[in-house]
Amino acid sequence: MPDQQETTDTLISLGPGVGSKVERIKSESNYLRGQVAEELAQDSTHFSEAQVQLIKFHGIYQQEDRDARQTRKATGSEKAYQFMIRSRIPGGTLTAEQYCVHDDLADRYANGTLRVTTRQSFQLHGVLKGNLHPTIHAINESLLSTLSACGDVNRNVMACPAPAANRAQSQVQEIAHRIAMHLAPRSRAYHEIWVDGTQVETAKQTEEDETEPMYGPTYLPRKFKIGVAFPGDNCIDVYTQDIGLVACLEGESLHGFTVLIGGGMGMTHGKSETHPHLALPLCYATSDEILSVVETIVTIQRDYGDRQNRKHARMKYVVEERGIPWFRAELERRLGRSVQDPRAITWHEVEDHLGWHAQGDRLWFLGLYIENGRVKDDATVRLRTGLRHAVEEFRPGIRLTAQQNILFTDLTEQQREPLTELLATYGIATDPAQLGTRRFAMACPALPTCGLALTDAERVLPTVVQQIEADLAALGLADEPLSIRMTGCPNGCARPYMGDIGFVGRTKDVYNMYIGGDLLNTRLNTLYAASVRLKDLAATVRPLLVLWRGERRAEEGFGDFCYRVGLEYLHTQTEAAV
């Protein structure tokens, strides 16, 4: 394998004009230290621009309450700065104690809510700068971390969350955890700042003693995402990952993985060179080989990813432009050996794991729906209070899902009825059949916290779903599954380019509408209508539902129907009906 720092060191030495501003911030940061500790100690509400880039690697985003922006601007006040903290939770697996720590922190330092992400982790919103250290310190005290939950490194490693007595299922979770630990940054900066508070004596000593053996001093060109899928169940949206691993079983033992590469959702409006891309099969690797294969793929992206244009920096563009044969040859060259051909993949379902399920060993797990991942109390459902009560009383294992829901695991038969009854007192349903269309809906946080949001998502999707659900009921389609995803910008955090319908924010209360994906999440959907106002989204979907009801084949899903007949036909028919 070539010198691990050769490419990044060369980039740094080339001088002005090479590499983006963020690349230079990383290279001059002394392995992610920068002035983070110094600015953290200052009596101020926010960090400087350079430190904002670096704190991402520590699991922090600097944000503001954008609802207050105009009022504060009019009064001459500074922005209402606040921070989002994201925990790294491989495979979405945590203990009852770790759940309670996050729940406590939500009250003590955040905005009173927890948010389950689409990558199986927790986010705390509304944390003030002075509370960053105690919050992150407490998360580490619980034996979790926020390191590399954000930033230009491998992010939280996803895995099918469903527990089972089957040894292979637990091995999938084990592999996800091993990959996450193996690809974590080696810099001591995180522990110095947030955990033990001990600074190294001099910058010179740091530079001499510390390296990033895999990442190098400028880390990756952009964020990197990995997911591990169980055979037949694409619940983690494996084709959206930079590296997707699809497990292969021999009997009930995990033998290895078909390796997919080059997935990614992000794009930029008006820039055709940016677009979502599905991961493609690369090779097959045994369980013993998988760590070396994954690490080597990461180094290829490190060396060939675009460091000048961050909008073109994801690995999907390396794969698209250089091709799978080139990528495989480079992988084999660095490994010093050939790799096996990828094995065929078959999907049966995208299981959301909601409701009661036999876990094996006479234990059970319960999947609970969380609308858009937001754990909060409202007028009808005291979700946060009820979940906390249940966790304290029953002490279940906790799994977070890629659909932003939560599983309680390791429950006995005797606990089923009292847990169901307890949750019902808080208005929390345990039967997923009661959820209707919202069961398969997801949204990103968007406004008011996300700095990239162009419009709302989480706050408005429930109303849009209710409108579409009413139309489905009126058409006799109420029992038909329909996946709906909404984001406040085109970066794709809620994976809106997959599934039946995607709404992607363009500007305030205006969205692009995509259709024609599939429930198995193996196909990208396609732009159907541009710049649709929020109030017109359900009305734009309605005539398509009418066509689907009248012309679909037996058991044909909405996305499959739209894909089969094509956009031209759909436009012709809906325009004629007006």
What confidence tens digit (pLDDT) does each residue in 211-221 have? 899 999 999 99
- Whether 508 is catalytic is no
Q: What is the pLDDT of residue 253?
A: 87
Separation between Cα atoms, residue 365 and residue 359, nearest integer Å: 6
Nearest Cα residue to 55 out of 83, 81, 27? 83
- Whether 223 is catalytic is yes
Q: What is the pLDDT of residue 309?
A: 95
Q: What is the pLDDT of residue 209?
A: 66
In this prediction, residue 3 has a pLDDT band, given cuts at 50, 70 and 90, of very low
Q: What is the pLDDT of residue 200?
A: 43
Per-residue pLDDT, averaged over 254-272, amounts to 96
In this prediction, residue 198 has a pLDDT band, given cuts at 50, 70 and 90, of low
Per-residue pLDDT, averaged over 301-318, amounts to 97
Per-residue pLDDT, averaged over 327-338, amounts to 98
- Where b means 16+ CB within 10 Å and e means fewer, 435-446 reads bbbbbbbbbbbb
Q: What is the pLDDT of residue 170?
A: 86
Tell me whether residue 308 is in a domain.
no
User: From residue 184, how far is each of 140, 187, 214 by CA, in Å?
Assistant: 15, 9, 10
Q: What is the pLDDT of residue 211?
A: 87
Q: What is the pLDDT of residue 5?
A: 39
Per-residue pLDDT, averaged over 479-498, amounts to 97
User: From residue 293, how far is each of 93, 287, 336, 338, 339 by CA, in Å?
Assistant: 24, 10, 11, 11, 9
What one-letter code names the amino acid at 562? Answer: C
Tell me whether residue 513 is in a domain.
yes
Q: With 90 as the cut, is the pLDDT of residue 4 above it?
A: no
- Report the SS3 class of residue 423: helix
Q: With 80 as the cut, is the pLDDT of residue 67 above it?
A: yes
**What's the number of domains the chain is made of?**
1
Q: What is the pLDDT of residue 41?
A: 97
Catalytic residue among 316, 489, 506, 562: 489
Q: With 60 as the cut, is the pLDDT of residue 468 above it?
A: yes
Q: Which residue has the tokens 């419009």?
A: 455
CATH number at residue 477: 3.30.413.10
Q: Which residue has the tokens 């954008």?
A: 66
Nearest Cα residue to 399 out of 385, 287, 423, 391? 391
- Whether 450 is catalytic is yes
Catalytic residue among 150, 235, 283, 444: 444
Catalytic residue among 56, 88, 222, 225: 225
Separation between Cα atoms, residue 129 and residue 41, nearest integer Å: 10
Q: What is the pLDDT of residue 445?
A: 97
Q: With 50 as the cut, is the pLDDT of residue 479 above it?
A: yes
Separation between Cα atoms, residue 22 and residue 273, nearest integer Å: 21
Number of H helices, E strands in the chain: 19, 22
- Whether 108 is catalytic is no
Q: Which residue has the higher pLDDT, 198 or 439?
A: 439
Per-residue pLDDT, averaged over 492-521, amounts to 97
Q: What is the pLDDT of residue 1?
A: 38
Tell me whether residue 89 is in a domain.
no
What lies within 8 Å, CB to CB, of 168 at 6+ separation is 230, 247, 249, 252, 253, 254
What is the average pLDDT score of the chain?
A: 93
Contacts 24+ apart (CB under 8 A), 43-50: 44/129, 45/78, 45/81, 45/128, 45/129, 46/79, 46/81, 46/129, 47/129, 50/25
Q: With 80 as the cut, is the pLDDT of residue 202 above it?
A: no
Full residue range of the structural domain in which residue 470 is found: 438-577
Q: What is the pLDDT of residue 552?
A: 97
Q: With 80 as the cut, is the pLDDT of residue 440 above it?
A: yes
Q: State the sign of the Cα–Cα–Cα–Cα dihedral 444, 447, 451, 454.
A: positive
Catalytic residue among 150, 160, 450, 562: 450
- Whether 395 is catalytic is no
- Whether 489 is catalytic is yes
In this prediction, residue 400 has a pLDDT band, given cuts at 50, 70 and 90, of very high
Residues facing residue 411 across a β-bridge = 364
Separation between Cα atoms, residue 70 and residue 80, nearest integer Å: 11
Tell me whether residue 164 is in a domain.
no
pLDDT (tens digit per residue) in 521-535: 999 999 999 999 999
Q: With 60 as the cut, is the pLDDT of residue 208 above it?
A: no
Q: State the sign of the Cα–Cα–Cα–Cα dihedral 400, 500, 257, 7.
A: negative
- Whether 562 is catalytic is no
Tell me whether residue 567 is in a domain.
yes
Tell me whether residue 536 is in a domain.
yes
Catalytic residue among 33, 88, 129, 155: 155
Q: How many residues does the chain have?
A: 578
Tell me whether residue 118 is in a domain.
no
Q: With 90 as the cut, is the pLDDT of residue 123 above it?
A: yes
Q: With 50 as the cut, is the pLDDT of residue 46 above it?
A: yes
Catalytic residue among 56, 223, 328, 439: 223
Nearest Cα residue to 169 out of 361, 340, 366? 361
For the entire predicted model, the pTM comes to: 0.94
- Whether 150 is catalytic is no
Tell me whether residue 559 is in a domain.
yes
Q: With 60 as the cut, is the pLDDT of residue 7 above it?
A: no
